[in-house]
Structure 1
């Protein structure tokens, strides 16, 4: 009797399970295919730029472009000044200086601010965060003229430290916003235990909170570095020769006469390498840090 009662249940349970599994597999396969297609669409322009950088100027300018054209390093030789042009090393050094120094200043200023807004929240801390974010709503070009006049009066035009100050102030709101969500994940019990052991605030920040929030700080630093490296509007207006950055140097290669496509592609790839290298080196910290701030 028991066998007759359980047999229908077993046979009924076996029916829909393979169908659900097949539907899940088809759905996963469709999502995987869509992800591959989107990934290829995003990577294809970069791959095409890299391939064009190894072509000669006549081959790069053909329409439609040729995939079987011979490869050459002439574009890179011209970019690095082998043909008698300007050297790219001073602009690359200026970009590295402005990006690294501004990122360090942002971390130094954003860390205690994020601590005050997350672990030891001030009154109306949500309003403070909204104020930080609202500073990014002003178009950059709207503040360009006042900043230019200020730089002119203080003799700061064509000075790399002016860009360091500007990049620090531009990235600081985003850094505070991101690090606040990261530090909110730090267990308060660990901080209280350190306080019971007699640790002061600087010790708690450097030896307790910083190691725990390290991935979040690395993600914040990488994003600030990328924003500073890619910024061009202020660098175009406020610099000339001494403090010229890499993006501004790249635009000088585009002329109204002659062929320059292969050289520009080579320069674009070379200038993008520091950002790509930093992102590749810190990709695990970036994913871990962004996930830490997103999971509540």
Structure 2
């Protein structure tokens, strides 16, 4: 029994911890507010592009911009070829074909390579990883002329399969680096148990490793798809009419004659939709996949 006016040990500890807890709550609230501000800042340009795409060219070109201007679908009608303009569908199909096929090729090649570098590690595997990384050190424009001459001499100019090969080679090092860290978290005991049961390498990769590393594979696929879909330099130089991709078609709205801002925003919104749809569909696995290689 304590005398009046004395402070117990528990009361002293609670009195000591209370300011620290309040400070931690204030710090957490400040970081949360900062995250909201940063998110809004990043979203404002995209929302502004969406709003401008529904304005007329005269309203979109006003300075300062007119937020409450009347809405119209004129920009989207021009993009989809209304009034005799060029149809965007061949370019969109070319981009979709090059992005999806190259991503599939990357996964087929990167999965066994990452398996050899993470689970069944080859000799001097760190040197191999550095070699993959060194392939991204050369600027893309530095290899443009040799690739153009090769495509010209082999008759591959304006061919969608040339872009598939290029996108596969460009994204493969990134995919191997990502999947190597993802597959490093796969339990070796499960693989050994499957091998004891007589499973071959192809079976182990497709039925054991792939399901466990599915979030990481989804994250890698999405990133490779985005890089392929957004690529402009190679597609601009190596394609013409038949293999023209969506980013190249998009640049056709930039002109020195007349106003083009609303039409360009409408085209940008449509071209961005496949990437946004893919990211939204794979958002759960993307978050899981990006956290697989984290330090625990």
Asked if these proteins are the same fold (TM beyond 0.5), I'd say yes
The Cα of 1:198 is off from its aligned counterpart by: 1.4
The Cα shift of 1:3 comes to: 3.4
TM-superposed deviation, 1:199: 1.2
Tell me if 1:3 matches 2:2: yes
Which residue in the other structure is 1:30 paired with? 30
Matched residues in 2 for 1:23 and 1:4: separation? 32
SS at match of 2:35: helix
Q: Provide the TM-score with structure 2 as the length reference.
A: 0.97
Aligned to 1:201: 201
Q: Give 5+ residue unaligned stretches, structure 1.
A: none
Alignment match, 1:133: 133
Larger deviation, residues 2-11 vs 252-261: 2-11
CA shift, 1:87, in A, is 0.3
Count of residues paired in the alignment:
295
SS of residue in 2 equivalent to 1:158: coil
How far did 1:295 drift? 3.3
Q: Residue 177 of structure 2 corresponds to which residue in structure 1?
A: 177
Q: Match for residue 216 of structure 2? A: 216
Q: Does 1:99 align with 2:99?
A: yes
- CA deviations 1:189-222 (Å, max 9, x no partner) are 0011111111111111111111001110000000
Provide the secondary structure at the position in 2 that maps to 1:23. helix
In 2, Cα distance between equivalents of 1:14 and 1:194: 55
The CA deviation at 1:13 is: 1.4
* Aligned mates of 1:10, 1:223 — CA distance in 2: 53
C-alpha separation in 1, matches of 2:198 and 2:25:
56
Tell me the TM-score normalized by structure 1: 0.97
1:71 maps to which residue?
A: 71
- Give the Cα–Cα distance (whole angstroms) in 1 for the partners of residues 14 and 93 of structure 2: 67
Give unpaired runs (5+ residues) of structure 2. none
Moved over 3 A (4+): 2-8
Corresponding residue of 2:18 = 18
State the shift of 1:7 in Å: 4.0
- Encode CA deviations 1:211-257: one digit per residue, 9 max, x unaligned: 00111000000000000000000000000000000000000111101
Task: Work out the CA distance in 1 between the residues paired with 2:18 and 2:85.
Answer: 67
- The alignment partner of 1:15 has SS state of helix
Question: 2-side partners of 1:14 and 1:98: how far apart?
Answer: 63
1:165 aligns with 2:165: yes
DSSP-derived class of the 1:294 partner: coil
What is the SS of the residue equivalent to 2:161? helix
Per-residue deviation at 1:21? Answer: 1.6
1:260-271 matches, within 5 Å, as 260-271=260-271
String of CA shifts for 1:240-276, please: whole Å, max 9, x gaps: 0000000000001111011110000000000000000
Counterpart for residue 286 of structure 2:
286
Once the two structures are TM-superposed, the CA of residue 8 in structure 1 deviates from its matched residue by: 3.2
Provide the alpha-carbon RMSD of the alignment. 1.2
Match of 1:146 in 2: 146
Q: Give the superposition deviation at 1:15.
A: 1.1
